[in-house]
Amino acid sequence: MLQRITHSECIYAPGDGELVKELFVALGFAVTKVEPYPYIIAHVDPDVMDVMSNVIYASELTEMQQAFEKTLQATLASSQEFREATDNWENDFRDDPQRSVHFGFQYESRDSFQATIDRLREASGPGKPLEGRLLVTGVYFPGDDGSITDTMAQGFVWTDVMASGILTFGQHLELQWHIEPSVVPTPA
Ligand SMILES: [Fe+2]
In this prediction, residues 39-63 reach a mean pLDDT of 97
**Residue 12 Cα, ligand 1 centroid: separation in angstroms?**
23
**Residue 97 Cα, ligand 1 centroid: separation in angstroms?**
8
User: What pLDDT is stored for residue 178 in this prediction?
Assistant: 96
Which secondary structure element, helix H or strand E, spans residue 136, and what is its range? strand 134-140
Is 59's pLDDT higher than 90? yes
**Residue 108 Cα, ligand 1 centroid: separation in angstroms?**
17
Q: Which of 73, 58, 76 is nearest to 165 (CA)?
A: 58
User: What pLDDT is stored for residue 171 in this prediction?
Assistant: 97
**Residue 152 Cα, ligand 1 centroid: separation in angstroms?**
11
Report residue 38's pLDDT band, with 50, 70 and 90 as the boundaries. Answer: very high
Is 113's pLDDT higher than 90? yes
Is 170's pLDDT higher than 90? yes
The helix/strand/coil state of 120 is: helix
**Residue 34 Cα, ligand 1 centroid: separation in angstroms?**
30
**Residue 144 Cα, ligand 1 centroid: separation in angstroms?**
16
**Residue 101 Cα, ligand 1 centroid: separation in angstroms?**
8
Is 142's pLDDT higher than 90? yes
**Residue 98 Cα, ligand 1 centroid: separation in angstroms?**
5
In this prediction, residues 126-143 reach a mean pLDDT of 97
**Residue 27 Cα, ligand 1 centroid: separation in angstroms?**
16
For residue 166, give every residue at least 6 positions away whose Cβ sits within 8 Å of its Cβ, in sequence order, or none: 69, 72
Beta strands 103-107 and 171-178 are parallel
- Read off the amino acid at residue 115: A
- Read off the amino acid at residue 84: E
* Signed CA dihedral, 158, 164, 165, 166: sign only: positive
**Residue 80 Cα, ligand 1 centroid: separation in angstroms?**
30
User: What pLDDT is stored for residue 183 in this prediction?
Assistant: 82
**Residue 182 Cα, ligand 1 centroid: separation in angstroms?**
14
**Residue 73 Cα, ligand 1 centroid: separation in angstroms?**
28
What pTM does this model have?
Answer: 0.94
User: What pLDDT is stored for residue 173 in this prediction?
Assistant: 98
What mean pLDDT value characterizes the chain?
96
**Residue 181 Cα, ligand 1 centroid: separation in angstroms?**
16
**Residue 102 Cα, ligand 1 centroid: separation in angstroms?**
7
User: What pLDDT is stored for residue 120 in this prediction?
Assistant: 98
How far from 114 is each of 56, 101, 134, 182, CA to CA, in Å? 22, 23, 17, 21
Q: Which of 54-85 are b and which e, b meaning 16 or more Cβ less than 10 Å from the residue's Cβ?
A: bbbbbbbbeeeeeeebeebeeeeeeeeeeeee
User: What pLDDT is stored for residue 174 in this prediction?
Assistant: 98
For residue 113, give every residue at least 6 positions away whose Cβ sits within 8 Å of its Cβ, in sequence order, or none: 107, 153, 155, 175, 176, 177
Report residue 182's pLDDT band, with 50, 70 and 90 as the boundaries. Answer: confident
Q: In terms of residues, how long is the chain?
A: 188
